Chain A
Amino acid sequence: MLDEDAQIMRWLSPLEPNDRHQGVRTDRFDGVGDWLLETAEWREWRETQGGAEGAVLFCSGNPGVGKTYLRQVTRFMERGEYH
């Protein structure tokens, strides 16, 4: 990356998203959270078309569950199976 590009990235935000993402990859545990993709809530969110109101899926739970499910969803999205 060019020097200025690196500066621009730092300028946009001092936060670095990848630090904890690495940790999540390391302790990945296959299969956990697969059921999420089978829920009615997931389908409802996935199938809602446009509009601000239905754009959000909120998974409520205690600490620790989020990362697992987030990773699951991200993997699903990255596989290109969204919609």
Chain B
Amino acid sequence: MIDALCDRAAEENIAVAGLYCDYLSQQDQTVTNIMGVILKQLVGRGGVPKDVREAFQKGKMEFGGRRPRLADLMGMLKIAIASLPRVFICLDALDECLPKHLPGLLESLRDLTQECPKTRIFLTGRPHVGEDVQRHFSKAVVLPIIPNTDDVRNYVEMRLNRDDEPDAMNKDLRGDIVRVILEKISDMYVGALGVPTLSTMDTY
């Protein structure tokens, strides 16, 4: 019990950095910028570290103000991570990165996990990027996400409760709406991915 409490206290200082990749800003989502935004979040918590400030001042002196290079950022990231108890990096919608950036991005993440074992990485994306992920992290845990029946039902119920014309609704219609949506979603996922049916997913 005491161990559990100590663990918990130590973990309260966990640092979380993440980015929702977005096809609208694909051009800006270079490996360098993504590593930069992770670093920005990690150092933003406790004041700018000395090495980061120095690198900035050095870059500013150069002609036109040089932007940080990937190698610079990786070095600064490793230093920043070393000072934190545990770091958790999340990148959502990897498939929205440009394909030309993806291998470099995964390579940089791999480099980080190799040198900083306390880094854990949570990625999401369409199934096809799974191969890229596994090429770089052969033991990556892959979890297919399928909307769970309860999640979908709760969501539909919530939307129905917000209906601005409640007089037009009755119990049967309500029941039909929920049933048809659940069936459609089940067909969609089973058909598209060849995954277990929603009823088997209920065991989660």
Contacts and interface: CB of A to CB of B under 8 A. Distances in A.
A67 B93 CA distance: 8
Contacts of A41: 141-143
B142 A5 contact: no
A30 to B, nearest CB: 9
Interface in A16-52: 16-17, 20-21, 24, 29, 31-33, 35-36, 38-39, 41-42, 44-45, 48, 50-52
Contacts of A8: 48, 52-53, 56
Given A11-B68, A15-B19, A55-B121, A80 B8 contact: yes
In the complex, which range does the number of interface residues on chain B fall in? Answer: 35 or more
B53 A73 contact: no
A62 to B, nearest CB: 6
Given A38-B204, A52-B110, A59 B39 contact: no
Given A9-B40, A65-B124, A82-B14, A59 B148 contact: no
B16 interface: yes
B142 to A, nearest CB: 5
B123 to A, nearest CB: 5
Contacts of A56: 109, 113, 121-123, 133, 137, 140-141
A19 to B, nearest CB: 8
In the complex, which range does the number of interface residues on chain A fall in? Answer: 35 or more
A65 B123 CA distance: 12
Contacts of B151: 31-33, 35
Contact of B88 (A4, A20, A77): A77
A11 B59 contact: yes
Contacts of B118: 50
Interface of A: 4-5, 7-9, 11-17, 20-21, 24, 29, 31-33, 35-36, 38-39, 41-42, 44-45, 48, 50-63, 65-67, 69-70, 73-74, 77-78, 80-83
